[in-house]
Amino acid sequence: MQNEYTEYAKVFKAFCDETRLMVLSLLQSGEKCACVLLEKVNVGQPTLSHHMKILVESGIVSARKEGKWTHYSLNESGCENAKELLELITNVSEDN
């Protein structure tokens, strides 16, 4: 294939791994640095880094570098976009 849905799927992939969901849940209470996330989540540092990359690339999470640290936070417009996509794909059309 390789169509519009490929792009949509990429967004939803952000949400279909339990480690990523856990990270998102941690970010709901505000920006967190990678080292804090690492303490809470049960994976090694390179694995977390990999998941953060997926979250950032899907637009759901923002990264802010500050000295040695990387601070992550929910990207509100990215989250909005995900919600809109979900609406788009699940809403029943009027003229059924």
Partner DNA sequence: AATACATATTGACAAATTTCAATATATAGT
Partner DNA sequence: ACTATATATTGAAATTTGTCAATATGTATT
Three-state DSSP state, 35: helix
Q: Which is nearer to a copy of itself, 28 or 46 (CB)?
A: 28
The answer to whether 41 touches 22, Cβ cutoff 8 Å, is: yes
Q: Which does 40 bind (CB under 5 to 8 A by kind): a copy of itself, DNA, none?
A: none
Instruction: Let me know if 46 is exposed, middle or buried by CB neighbors in 10 A (0-12, 13-18, 19+).
Output: exposed
- Distance, in Å, from the CA atom of 17 to the CA atom of 15, rounded to the nearest integer, reads 6
Is residue 24 near DNA by the rule CB under 7 A? Answer: no
Would you give the binding string for a copy of itself spanning residues 36-75, x where CB under 8 A is met?
------x-----------------x-------------x-
- Distance, in Å, from the CA atom of 41 to the CA atom of 50, rounded to the nearest integer, reads 13
Q: Which residues bind a copy of itself (CB under 8 A)?
A: 1, 3, 5-6, 8-9, 12-13, 15-19, 21-22, 24-25, 28-30, 42, 60, 74, 76, 79, 82-83, 86-87, 89-93, 95-96
